[in-house]
Amino acid sequence: MQISEVVSLKEGTLCYHCGDLCTGGLDIRDGDKHFCCSGCKTVYEILNENDLCKYYEIDRNPGISQKPLDKALKSRFSYLDDELIIKQLTGFTDGNISVVNFSIPQIHCSSCIWLLENLHKLNPAVLHSEVNFLQKIVNIKYKTKELTLREIVELLSAIGYEPQISLSDIENKVKYRSNKSIYYKIGIAGFCFGNVMLLSFPEYLALDGRLEVYYKQFFGWLNLLLGIPVLFYSASDYFKSAWGGIRQKNINIDFPIVLGLVVLFGRSVFEIFTGTGVGFIDSMTGLIFFLLIGKVFQSKTYDALNFERNYKSYFPISVTLKRSGTESSIPVSALKTGDRIVIRNNELIPADAILFSGNANIDYSFVTGESIPVQKVAGEIVYAGGRQSGPAIELEVIRTVSQSYLTQLWNKDAFVKNDEDKFNSLVNVVGKYFTLIILIIAAAAFFYWYPASLRTAINAMTAVLIIACPCGIALTNPFALGNALRILGRNKFYAKNASVVERLSKIDTIIFDKTGTITKTGNAKITFNGSVLSSYEQSLVRSAVRNSTHPLSAKIYNALETAELYDVQEFSELSGKGIEAMVDSRIIRLGSASFAADYRDVLKRTGKKTGSTYSRIFLSIDGSVKGFFVINNIYRSGLEMVTRSLKSNYVLKVLSGDNEGEKENLLGYFESGSDMKFNQSPHDKLEFVKKQQLQGKKVLMVGDGLNDAGALKQSDVGIAISEDITNFSPSCDAILDASEFSNLSKFIGFTRATKHIIIASFVISIIYNIIGVMLAFRSEISPMFAAILMPLSSVSVVLFTITSTNLISKAKGLK
Amino acid sequence: MSVIVLLIFFSLLVAGGFLAAFLWAVKSGQFEDKYTPSVRILFDNEKESTK
| Inter-axis angle of helices A783-811 and A454-467, nearest 10 | 20
Distance, in Å, from the CA atom of A590 to the CA atom of A215, rounded to the nearest integer, reads: 95
Tens digits of residue pLDDT in A570-599: 887 776 677 888 888 888 888 777 777 665
A70-84, A192-206, A695-709, A797-811: lowest mean pLDDT where?
A70-84
Mean pLDDT of A678-692: 86
Q: Which residues of A723-762 are buried (b: 16+ CB within 10 A; e: fewer)?
A: bebbebbbbbbbbbbbebbebbbbbbbbbebbbebbeebb
The predicted structure's pLDDT at residue B21? 95
Please name the residues between 25 and 44 in chain B that touch chain A, using a CB distance below 8 Å.
26-27, 29, 31-36, 39-40, 42-43
Model pLDDT, residue A289? 92
Q: Which of A108, A116, A134 to mutate to test the interface with B (most CBs of B within 10 A)?
A: A134
Q: Which residue has the higher pLDDT, A520 or A753?
A: A753
With contacts defined as CB-CB under 8 Å, which chain B residues touch A134? 33-36
Chain-centroid distance of CA A472 in Å reads 32
Residue A807's pLDDT is 93
Cα dihedral sign, A633-A639-A643-A646: negative
Distance from CA of B38 to the nearest CA of A (A): 10
Mean pLDDT of A51-66: 74
The alpha-carbon gap from A162 to the nearest alpha carbon of chain B, in Å, equals 20
Tell whether B48 is within 8 A of chain A (Cβ): no
Q: Which residues are A512's β-sheet partners?
A: A654, A702
pLDDT band of residue B10 (cuts 50, 70, 90) is: very high
Beta strands in A242-346 (DSSP E): 318-323, 326-331, 340-343
**Highest CATH level, class, for A74-171:** alpha beta
Residue A803 confidence (pLDDT) above 90 = yes
For residue A609, name the pLDDT band (cuts at 50, 70, 90). very low
Record: contact A176-B39, CB cut-off 8 A: no
Task: Pick the most confident of A19-33, A377-391, A745-759.
Answer: A745-759
> Which pLDDT tens digit goes with each residue over A484-518?
999 998 898 988 888 888 889 889 999 988 877 88
A536: CB partners within 8 A, 6+ apart:
none
- Of A692, A646, A697, give the one whose Cα is nearest residue A669: A646
pLDDT, residue A790, reads: 76
Least confident of A26-35, A148-157, A630-639: A26-35
CA nearest A55 in B: which residue?
B43
- Of B51 and A531, the structure prediction assigns the larger pLDDT to A531
Q: Give the torsion sign (CA, A567, A571, A575, A577).
A: negative
- The residue with greater pLDDT, A179 or A153, is A153
Mean pLDDT of A796-806: 92
Q: Is B7 on the interface with A (CB under 8 A)?
A: no
- Give every CB contact of residue A25 below 8 A, 6+ residues apart in sequence: none
What does each C-alpha distance from A781 to A154, A466, A614 come to in angstroms? 71, 10, 77
Q: What pLDDT sits at residue A356?
A: 84
For all residues of chain B together, what is the average pLDDT?
Answer: 82
Q: What residues contact residue B36 under an 8 Å CB cut-off, 6+ apart?
A: A113, A130, A131, A132, A133, A134
Q: So what's the pLDDT on residue A322?
A: 83
Confidence of residue A621 (pLDDT cuts 50, 70, 90): confident
pLDDT reported for residue A415? 65
Which residues in chain A are closer than 8 Å to B46, comparing Cβ atoms?
Answer: 54
A683: pLDDT strictly greater than 90: no
Interface test with B, best of A49, A55, A114 (most B CBs within 10 A): A114
C-beta atoms surrounding A513 within 10 Å: 27
Residue A297: CB atoms within 10 A of its CB come to 19
Binning pLDDT at 50, 70 and 90, where does residue A323 land?
A: confident
The answer to whether A539 touches A586, Cβ cutoff 8 Å, is: no
Contact A658, A515 (CB under 8 A): yes
Chain B residues within 8 A of A194 when measuring between CB atoms: 15
Q: Region A413-437: what's the mean pLDDT?
A: 71
**Candidate CATH numbers 3.90.420.10, 3.40.1800.10, 3.65.10.10, 3.40.50.1000; the one for domain A484-520+636-752:** 3.40.50.1000
Strands A717-722 and A699-703: parallel
Distance between start and end Cα atoms, chain B: 68
Contacts of A171 (CB under 8 A, 6+ apart): A312
Is the minimum CB–CB distance between A233 and chain B shorter than 8 Å? no
The answer to whether residue A86 scores a pLDDT higher than 70 is: yes
Q: Which residues of A touch B12 (CB under 8 A)?
A: 195
CA distance A399 to B35: 45
Choice among A146-155, A168-177, A644-653, A790-799 with the minimum mean pLDDT = A168-177
- Torsion, Cα A134 A136 A140 A146, to 10 degrees, reads 160
Strand partners, A655: A513, A677
CA quadruple A217, A219, A222, A227: dihedral sign? negative
Euclidean distance between CA atoms A314 and A348, whole angstroms: 9
Residues facing A617 on adjacent strands: A629
Most B-contacting residue of A116, A133, A193 (CB-CB within 10 A), to test interface? A133
pLDDT digits 0-9 by tens, B32-47:
777 888 888 887 766 5
More confident: A692 or A33: A692
Q: Give the integer Cα–Cα distance in Å for A51 and A114.
A: 13
CATH class of A316-349+352-398: mainly beta
The pLDDT assigned to A24 comes to 58
pLDDT at A733: 86
Selection from A614-623, A770-779, A798-807, B38-47 with the highest mean pLDDT: A798-807
When pLDDT is cut at 50, 70 and 90, the band that residue A5 belongs to is very low
Chain B closest-CA separation from residue A54 CA (Å): 10
- Name the residue ranges covered by the structural domains of chain A: 2-58, 74-171, 179-299, 316-349+352-398, 484-520+636-752
Q: Which of B4, B11, B19, B38 to mutate to test the interface with A (most CBs of A within 10 A)?
A: B19
Which residue from B minimizes the CA distance to A57? Answer: B43
Q: B33 and A218: CB-CB below 8 Å?
A: no
- pLDDT of A67: 55
Please answer yes or no on whether A183 and B15 come within 8 Å at the CB atom: no
Smallest Cα distance from A89 to chain B, Å: 21
Please indicate, yes or no, whether the overall pTM of this predicted structure exceeds 0.80.
no
Cα–Cα dist A155/A46, whole Å: 10
Task: Provide, as residue numbers in chain A, all residues whose Cβ is less than 8 Å from the Cβ of B15.
Answer: 191, 194-195
Contacts of A532 (CB under 8 A, 6+ apart): A1
Alpha carbons A283 and A277: distance in angstroms, whole number: 14
Would you state the pLDDT for residue A186? 94
**Residue A607: per-residue pLDDT:** 46
Q: How far is A567 from chain B (nearest CA, A)?
A: 49
Residue A17 has pLDDT above 50, yes or no: yes
pLDDT confidence bin for A174, thresholds 50/70/90 = low
A742 has a pLDDT exceeding 70: yes
Query: Which residues of chain B does A211 touch, with a Cβ-Cβ cutoff of 8 Å?
Result: 1
Largest pairwise CA distance in chain A: 114
CB contact under 8 A, A133 and B43: no
pLDDT at A161 over 80: yes
Query: How far is the C-alpha of A758 from the C-alpha of A297, rounded, in Å?
Result: 16
- ∠ Cα A228 A232 A236 (to 5°): 155
Q: Which helix (H) or strand (E) holds A688?
A: helix A682-694
B31 with A180: Cβ contact below 8 A: yes
3-state DSSP assignment of residue A698: coil
Position A608 pLDDT exceeds 60: no
C-alpha distance across the termini of chain A, in Å: 39
Query: Are A178 and B15 within 8 A, CB to CB?
Result: no
Size of interface A-B (CB pairs under 8 A): 59
CB contact set of A4 (below 8 Å; sequence gap of 6+): A523, A525, A559, A634
**A353-395 confidence digits (pLDDT tens):** 888 887 788 877 767 766 677 777 788 888 888 888 777 888 8
- For chain A, what percent of residues have pLDDT higher than 70? 85
Across the interface, which of A113, A187, A214 has its CB nearest the CB of B22?
A: A187
- ipTM (interface predicted TM): 0.88
pLDDT tens-digit series, residues A180-212: 888 999 999 999 999 998 888 777 776 655 566
Buried-exposed string A423-454: b where 16+ CB fall within 10 A, e elsewhere = bebbbbebbbebbeebeebbeebbebbeeeee
Q: Taking CB atoms and an 8 Å cutoff, what residues of chain A touch B47? A: none
Interval A760-788 mean pLDDT? 78
Neighbours of A261 (CB within 10 A): 26
Q: What is the mean pLDDT of chain A?
A: 80
What pLDDT is attached to residue A3?
Answer: 38
Q: What is the mean pLDDT of residues A328-342?
A: 82
* CA pair distance A123, A100, nearest whole angstrom: 16
Say if B1 is an interface residue toward chain A (CB within 8 Å): yes
Taking 50 as the threshold, does the pLDDT of residue B50 lie above it?
A: no
pLDDT in tens, A243-302: 988 888 878 888 888 988 998 899 899 988 887 777 888 889 988 999 999 888 887 777
A132–B32 CB contact, under 8 Å: yes
Q: How far apart are the C-alpha atoms of A54 and B42, rounded to whole Å?
A: 13
Q: Contact A262/A316 with Cβ under 8 angstroms?
A: no
Please tell me which of the candidates A51, A114, A218 has its beta carbon nearest to residue B49.
A51
Question: Residue A417: its pLDDT value, please?
Answer: 56
B1, B9, B10, B22, best to mutate vs chain A, most A CBs in 10 Å: B22
Minimum CA–CA partner of B33 in chain A: A132
Q: Residues 6 or more apart from A699 whose CB is under 8 A from it?
A: A507, A509, A510, A511, A689, A692, A693, A715, A716, A717
Whether the predicted pLDDT of A138 surpasses 80? yes
CB contact under 8 A, B33 and A176: yes
Determine, for residues A187 and B19 on separate chains, whether the beta-carbon distance falls below 8 Å: yes
Gyration radius of chain B over CA positions: 20
Contact A188 B36 (CB under 8 A): no
Residues 346-375 of A with CB under 8 A from B: none
The closest alpha carbon to A80, from A331, A313, A322, A341, belongs to: A331
Residue A673 has pLDDT above 60, yes or no: no
Please list every residue in chain B whose beta carbon sits closer than 8 Å to the beta carbon of residue A184: 23, 26
